[in-house]
Structure 1
Amino acid sequence: MTTGTRPWKIPESVLVVIHTPALDVLLIRRADAAEFWQSVTGSKDTVDELLALTAAREVAEETGIQCGQRSALASQLVDWQLRNIYEIYPRWRARYEPGVTHNTEHLFGLCVPERLTPTLDPREHTDWQWLSYREAADACFSPSNAEAILLLPEFAQ
């Protein structure tokens, strides 16, 4: 049930597109793959964890932006009611229970009032940038992340 000292990752995750009203998107660069720019992503901590809690927790962990219950941005975290099922990249499969090859990713948006300066955990991410949504989609390594960003004009209204 563990990968040594850590429990297996749960193959159900969130992707949170953080954006401004002007549709500028925050991207963060992975520490374990410097060529990979992405939105906030992360797996559930427990099978029973609510997806909105996963999304708010991951945003706080990866950017320092607080959007959980009772925060000023709580109402701006929106479940887009969309999901992607994709094959887990082989380089990261060892984090999951043997035989797990696919992940279900739930899409969220978080509208922030302006281009905020994130606080990154250097073990997870090494840099950040704000880009127009089209530029952000082009910069993402993940096709599902790029597709989510391109949906932003539809969901930001």
Structure 2
Amino acid sequence: MALEQCGAPAHRPFKIPQSVLVVIHTPALEVLLIRRAVDAPDGQAFWQSVTGSKDSLQESWHETAVREVWEETGIRADAPGCTLRDWGLENVYDIYPQWLHRYAPGVGRNTEHLWGLQVPAALPVVLSPREHQDWAWWPWREAADRCYSPSNAEAILLLPQFALP
């Protein structure tokens, strides 16, 4: 009898400490933020851009960005009128203590690769209720101010340099 059938939880593989941050925006620099279903440890609302880890070491950064955008928003990054751009930037940061258990023992830092996804207009979003509970489009400076993560806010502040003309 499998362990799952005896009531023991199935072993979930550890997360890979390589992730993407995708700033989704319109040509007018409105930025989509999504609110995590669980707020930050200090009780603040946890607004963020699309983020997510690679599913395997073989998955490319591009594949991870496309998959995460779809899973978290229902937006197809390769749809007509959408442009996904690799910003060629990475953040390396300490993983929040409350999420360290998701990673292999001894892993404490994550490398995050930055992307921008320009969409033709502020689109409706389909959230995964297990992960997120709300979404909104804001002007880029206001979106940066609402981000919980400093590295996410910094990425949004870079948007005018990377947005398509």
The two structures share one fold, judged by TM-score above 0.5: yes
* Large movers: runs of 4+ above 3 Å: none
Match of 2:61 in 1: 51
Q: How does 1:104-123 map to 2 (within 5 A)?
A: 104-123=111-130
Deviation at 1:67, TM superposition (A): 1.3
Q: CA RMSD in A?
A: 1.4
Larger Rg: 2
Structure 1: give runs of 5+ residues left out of the alignment: none
Match of 2:37 in 1: 31
Deviation at 1:4, TM superposition (A): 5.1
> Sequence identity, in percent?
64
**Out of 3, 8, 19, which is 1:13 matched to?**
19
SS at match of 1:138: helix
TM-score when normalising by structure 2: 0.89
CA shift digits 1:75-132 (9 cap, x unpaired): x000000000000000111000011000000000000000001000100000001100
Match of 1:40 in 2: 50
1:154 equivalent to 2:141? Answer: no
**Out of 75, 80, 87, which is 1:72 matched to?**
80
TM-score when normalising by structure 1: 0.93
CA shift digits 1:30-57 (9 cap, x unpaired): 0122610000000000011000000000
Q: Give the counterpart letter for 1:101 in structure 2.
A: G
1:84 equivalent to 2:94? Answer: no
SS at match of 1:137: helix
Mapped partners of 1:114, 1:22: distance in 2: 8
